[in-house]
């Protein structure tokens, strides 16, 4: 007699995933299942993430636009089964999340903007899956920085990818008003 696997009982929700103790290594929840993110990012990755966070965060704070999160803060990209991805840097406008301290849970709304930084051992196919999940979840723009090639790939729903080189200027007026910065500013 055949038995039926109760797969739905094995799947974890974003809330269950977020309430677990820290395992001591990076993880993401993908369609209800925990996946290790390996290896932990190296120095250059951290440096570029820090620069994006600093440049964007300083501007956003000065202009009073919203919240900037970093350090692989969880973004729910899918429900039923749930997927939680760790964004390198994310921007949430005050229109989406009011001023003040944020909750200690994953946020119910997607960010307006996400930056991901490609590491040397990342596969573009996996990066593009993550980009598609972010866009399908409602993120308006996803920027993928490639430090080795000194480029930024900008992804927006229903638009072709835009590739900016180190000396090109990034501006996102619909999201960040007058913000303008060369791609090199994130990479130096």
Is the pLDDT at 150 greater than 50? The verdict is: yes
pLDDT at 169 over 50: yes
pLDDT in tens, 82-101: 999 999 999 999 999 999 99
- Does this model's pTM top 0.85? My answer is yes
Q: Of 116, 47, 38, nearest to 77 (Cα)?
A: 116
Where along the chain do its domains lie?
A: 7-187
> Alpha-carbon dihedral of residues 183, 145, 131, 168, nearest 10 degrees?
20
Q: How confident is the model at residue 9 (pLDDT cuts 50, 70, 90)?
A: low
What's the count of helices (H) and strands (E) in the chain, helices before strands? Answer: 6, 10
For domain 7-187, the CATH class is: alpha beta
Model pLDDT, residue 151: 98
Question: pLDDT tens digits for 116-130?
Answer: 999 988 899 999 999
Residue-level pLDDT at 5: 41
- In angstroms, the CA 148 to CA 182 distance is 16
Cα–Cα distance between 186 and 119 in angstroms, integer?
15
State residue 70's pLDDT score: 96
pLDDT tens track for 13-71: 999 999 999 888 889 999 999 998 867 788 999 999 999 999 999 999 999 999 999 99
* The pLDDT value given to residue 37: 81
Per-residue pLDDT band for 161 (boundaries 50, 70, 90) equals very high
pLDDT, average across residues 164-177: 98
């Amino acid at each position: 007699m055949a038995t039926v696997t109760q797969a739905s009982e094995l799947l974890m929700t974003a809330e269950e995933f977020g309430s677990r103790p820290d395992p001591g290594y990076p993880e993401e929840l993908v369609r209800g299942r925990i996946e290790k993110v390996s290896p932990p990012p190296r120095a250059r990755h951290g440096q570029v993430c820090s620069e994006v966070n600093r440049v964007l965060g300083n501007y956003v704070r000065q202009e009073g636009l919203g919240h900037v999160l970093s350090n692989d803060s969880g973004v729910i990209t899918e429900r039923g089964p749930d997927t939680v991805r760790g964004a390198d840097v994310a921007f949430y406008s005050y229109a989406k999340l009011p001023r003040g301290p944020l909750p200690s849970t994953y946020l119910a709304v997607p960010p307006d903007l996400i930056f991901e930084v490609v590491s040397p051992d990342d596969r573009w196919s996996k990066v593009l899956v993550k980009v598609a999940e972010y866009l399908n979840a409602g993120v308006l723009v996803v920027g993928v920085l490639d430090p080795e090639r000194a480029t930024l790939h900008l992804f927006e729903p229903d638009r072709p990818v835009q590739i900016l080189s180190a000396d090109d200027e990034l501006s996102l007026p619909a999201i960040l008003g007058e913000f303008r910065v060369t791609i090199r500013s994130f990479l130096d």
